[in-house]
Structure 1
Amino acid sequence: MKVLIAGLIPNDAGKTVLAASLVKALLREGVSATPVKPLGATDLWGHPEALNRSREARLVVTWDGYILHRASGGRLPIEVINPIGALLAPTPPSRYRSRSGYEASLVEPYRRAVLTRVTGCAGGSRSLHLANADALSRVPQQVSEALQEVIMYLTPPPTPASDEAIAGIFSGAGSTAADTCLAMAEASSDAVIVESNSDVVAPTPSSSYPSLAIMVAPGEAYLVEGTRLSRALEAIAMSGRPWAAKAMEALELTGHLGRVDLPLLEDPDEGYPPDVISPLVEAVKGRLRKGLTTENYESLIT
């Protein structure tokens, strides 16, 4: 079964912490659970440690991908857990001809995606690295030197790409490859916890058909029936592109089965304690056992 976690706001909704917490809790309960983040991007200004992780793995490794891989105990390779990963570099205002160009880079991440990895899992995992020449030309010298050092370690070596090529990947061109890795995770797990990106409902076609969904915002998580979400996506997604639909819009159509309050975490690496995550764990376990009705959910979620 698939459990989809989507954010109700574009940034810092808490998707990764919740996904990692749920995976760890399910594993403790004896449920074979694997996280998958089909599309992820890490801003190196906020998480420069992603460069070291990428150098060690000889692959582009996003910070969210690393967190989820660690939470799963390394059940699957990190490139399968996060099949499309990008590293975003700072491209300061002085590198643009106009203020509008700089502002566009802040809302269109592909303009700062200096390194991108696309992994497909049909017949085993295979990866392709892309180096965005346009973005690299806008990076400050010291950042560029750090990136060039990492590029030397990547296997396979990156292929040159443009803003337009990377934009295509961010806009769904890599979804077929990502879904092959999602299928690999499903074949080896009781439950796959799929984390979406930004405030997108579902990042790939396959992920738009979950058994359950969890919509998260700072302080709250909403449990949603998967079938209702899939029907809502069919109504609002454009031409079969679920990544064009926003989570808040979908939640307004689906309603929710229940709500869980989420506390502040002094140490996000520790994740949510059992008393917080327990209702979501029980909902997943219940669906695995026999399927749950709305009434059953209401007895689990307050």
Structure 2
Amino acid sequence: MKLLVAGGDPVDAGKTTFAVGLAARLRADGSRPTVFKPRAGNDRWFDHDDVRRAAGDGRLYGKDIDRLLRAAGGDATHERRNPIHRLWGPTPGETGLLGESDRTFLVDRVRTTDGDEWVVNGTTEIPDALRDDLPLVEARRVDSVRAFNEAMRELHLPALDRLAEDVRAAGGSGVALVESYGDVAMPLREVGFDAVAVVDPGRCRVYDGDRWALARETATGDRDEGTLEVHVDRVTGMLDPLSTRDLRPLTGEERDDPDVVASAYSAAYDELLAAAQDR
């Protein structure tokens, strides 16, 4: 079984909390879910404690994949299940290298077959603390969109394709649970999901996986280029959900306990799993 959790809002949709509760629910049902977050990112300013905690160990990962792995159990590394992580830095009033407003990417960590590769923004100053903590001496420097796109073709896309193989294998023998990033509708190529949960603040919509994939292909004209960045609202605009459930707001203490989340959102999980099992 392969399940996708996507966000209907690009920021703070609640999809990680929903996915964490789903992992706990699957474990309670006797499954050992394999969790994945293909891409993630955090900000050196807004997520400073998380960045320092990871960078202090010479690593780069965020709290989302950490929460998912803890909820699912097992001993997989953050880097294996989250092969691409981006660190942002604030640039008030300025546009970043990739066209971002008020921020720019500082460092990408990309998992390869030989370990981690690092891509650094050559147009901005990398803070000394990061240079001291992370292995950036031999990092790949990019100073233009063209150079970054070349790095993506050589590093990022192969990393995602390798992860897609892992998702297909995990879903074939058990349960693969994938959390997308931002409001991207399909985070991996050539992975068919059995059911999709779209999480917005206050609600969850459940979709059939095959119809979701077809709508995503329709939105892109079935072109490979750019299909990873189709936004959720383009897909949901073509489909009626199988079901819609309200999600109540949770306190910080409740969000920190996967079993409490699993209980609070049990009705939504029932409908998502029923949709996947009815295929």
- Superposition TM-score tier, normalisation by shorter sequence: 0.7 to 0.9
- Overall identity of the aligned pairs, in %: 24
Greater alpha carbon shift after TM alignment, 192-201 vs 53-62: 53-62
CA RMSD of aligned residues (A): 2.9
By how many angstroms is 1:219 displaced?
A: 0.4
What is the aligned partner in structure 2 of residue 299 from structure 1?
A: none
What's the offset of the Cα at 1:195? 1.2
Residue 192 of structure 1, CA deviation: 1.4
Alignment partner for residue 128 of structure 1, among 98, 111, 117?
117
- 1:78 and 1:55 map into 2 onto residues whose CA distance is 13
Contact 1:60 1:85 in 2 (8 A): yes
* Per-residue deviation, residues 22-76 of structure 1 (Å, max 9, x unmatched): 1122112211212211111112222112323323543221232222222222442
Q: Judging changes above 3 Å, is the alpha-carbon distance between structure 1 residues 264 and 284 closer, same or farther for their aligned structure 2 residues?
A: closer
As a proportion of its length, which structure holds more strand?
A: 2
Q: Distance in 2 between matches of 1:250 and 1:35?
A: 23
CA apart distance, 1:247: 0.6
Residue in structure 2 matched with residue 297 of structure 1 by the alignment: none
Partner of residue 184, structure 1: 166
Task: Please state how far the C-alpha of 1:166 moved relative to its aligned partner.
Answer: 3.9
**Counterpart AA for 2:108:** T
| 1:259 aligned residue | 244
Pair 1:104–1:181, CA change in 2 (3 A): closer
Question: Is 1:159–2:145 an aligned residue pair?
Answer: no
Instruction: Tell me, yes or no, if structure 1 residue 229 matches structure 2 residue 209.
Output: no
Letter in 2 for 1:54: A
Show the counterpart of 1:118: 110
Deviation digits for residues 249-276 of structure 1, max 9, x if unmatched?
2112121011121111111222453343
User: 5+ residue gaps in structure 2?
Assistant: none
Give 1:105's match in structure 2, choosing from 100, 114, 130: 100
Q: Which position in structure 1 is the counterpart of 2:190?
A: 206
Supply the distance in 1 between the matched residues of 2:54 and 2:144 (Cα, whole angstroms): 22
More helix by share: 1
Count of aligned positions = 271
Q: Which amino acid aligns with 1:187?
A: A
Structure 1: 5+ residue stretches without partners = 294-302
Structure 2 vs 1, CA of residues 182 and 246 (structure 1 numbering), >3 Å: closer, same or farther? Answer: same
CA-to-aligned-CA distance 1:59-109 (integer Å, 9 cap, x gap): 22123222222222244211121111111112233xx4xxx66994328xx
